[in-house]
């Protein structure tokens, strides 16, 4: 048991080194388009804007915020935001961008592990906890994550999660249709991943990534098990990057070319804390 825990901690540390190294690469990439961000552009999915709705005046925590662009997109819509990420270079980049954008009064960024978020950000201090877009697969314990979210929310507060669909973890990288892995295998999966999804040509040395697969049922059950009331779970047909070679671009998003063979690429979930 102790050995297994040590191994998990070592894998999380390895992941942090991988992410630390990718921060400057991602910040310089066209994918994250900091020039566009500086001129006021953001990249939130339209379904996220519709589903989360008006955040003006709300306290919003963004878990695993990376360089904070989505965090600041909510701040620009009037929320007071706190972004948390275990990568110190990521939150330093986010804080510098917030200062540049004149958002430092309403956007703060903290370097910490997700599981320490309640201690770091404040218990029951938020109206909204927002997360996703490639966040949950980096977490070994989904029930502990859900309890952390519940600990951050004020009575009546809301979790809003917009995440890559776990089905996308098990499909072939080329066709996005052939099943190549076991959907029900929950163990850690370590793989070699040079470069970055934001720039595959980037030279990198920390290339071992470990992900933990959480099925849709596991995530929904963890949220319910933490005492939150699930409002909806919706599946979506687009994704913000070319997850499979077979996907086609469509208005800044990617989707299956053939409507007869579509699979869900993302899902969103909203859940509330008891008032």
Instruction: Tell me how far, at minimum, the Cβ of 138 lies from ligand SAM, in Å.
Output: 4
Taking each helix axis from N to C end, the angle separating 216-225 and 142-152, rounded to the nearest 10 degrees, works out to 40
Tell me whether residue 85 or residue 218 sits nearer to ligand SAM (CB atom).
Answer: 85
DSSP-assigned letters across all residues of 236-251: ES-BSS--STTEEEET
Tokens 């009064």 locate to 105
Q: What is the dihedral of CA 84, 231, 253, 78, to 10 degrees?
A: -50
Tell me whether residue 137 or residue 226 sits nearer to ligand SAM (CB atom).
Answer: 137
Q: Are strands 266-272 and 229-236 parallel, antiparallel or unpaired?
A: antiparallel
Tell me whether residue 66 or residue 243 sits nearer to ligand SAM (CB atom).
Answer: 66
Residues 90 to 119: which contact ligand SAM by CB under 6 A? Answer: 90, 113-114
CA distance 152 to 117: 8
Stretch that binds ligand SAM, among 83-91, 166-174, 211-219, 222-230 (CB under 6 A): 83-91
Selected from 85, 163, 211, 218, the binder of ligand SAM by CB under 6 A is: 85
Q: Is 263 exposed, middle or buried (0-12, 13-18, 19+ CB in 10 A)?
A: middle
Instruction: Tell me how far, at minimum, the Cβ of 57 lies from ligand SAM, in Å.
Output: 23
Query: Is 70 an interacting residue with respect to ligand SAM (CB under 6 A)?
Result: yes
Q: Which residues bind ligand SAM (CB under 6 A)?
A: 12, 15, 19, 64, 66, 69-70, 85-87, 90, 113-114, 133-135, 138-139
């Amino acid at each position: 048991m102790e050995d297994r825990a040590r191994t998990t901690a070592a894998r999380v540390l390895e992941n942090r080194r991988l992410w630390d190294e990718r921060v400057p690469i991602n910040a310089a990439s066209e994918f994250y388009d900091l020039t566009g961000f500086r001129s006021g552009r953001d990249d939130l999915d339209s379904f996220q804007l519709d589903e989360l709705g008006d955040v003006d005046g709300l306290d919003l925590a963004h878990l695993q915020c990376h360089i904070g662009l989505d965090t600041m997109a909510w701040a620009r819509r009037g929320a007071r935001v706190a972004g948390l990420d275990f990568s110190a270079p990521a939150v330093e980049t986010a804080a510098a961008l917030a200062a540049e954008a004149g958002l430092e009064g309403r956007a703060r960024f903290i370097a910490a592990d997700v599981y320490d978020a309640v201690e770091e950000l404040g218990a029951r201090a938020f109206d909204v906890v927002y997360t996703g877009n490639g966040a949950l697969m980096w977490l070994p314990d989904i029930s502990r994550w859900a309890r952390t979210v519940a600990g951050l929310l004020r009575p009546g507060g809301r979790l809003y999660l917009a995440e890559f669909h776990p089905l996308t973890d098990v499909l072939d990288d080329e066709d996005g249709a052939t099943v190549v892995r076991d959907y029900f295998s929950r163990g850690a999966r370590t793989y070699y991943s040079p470069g970055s999804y934001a720039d595959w040509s980037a030279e990198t040395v920390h290339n071992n990534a470990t992900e933990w697969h959480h099925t849709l049922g596991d995530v929904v059950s963890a949220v319910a098990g933490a005492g939150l009331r699930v409002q909806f779970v919706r599946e979506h047909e687009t994704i913000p990057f070319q997850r499979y070679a077979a996907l086609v671009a469509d208005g800044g998003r990617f989707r299956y070319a053939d409507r007869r063979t579509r699979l869900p690429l993302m899902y969103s979930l909203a859940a509330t804390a008891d008032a």
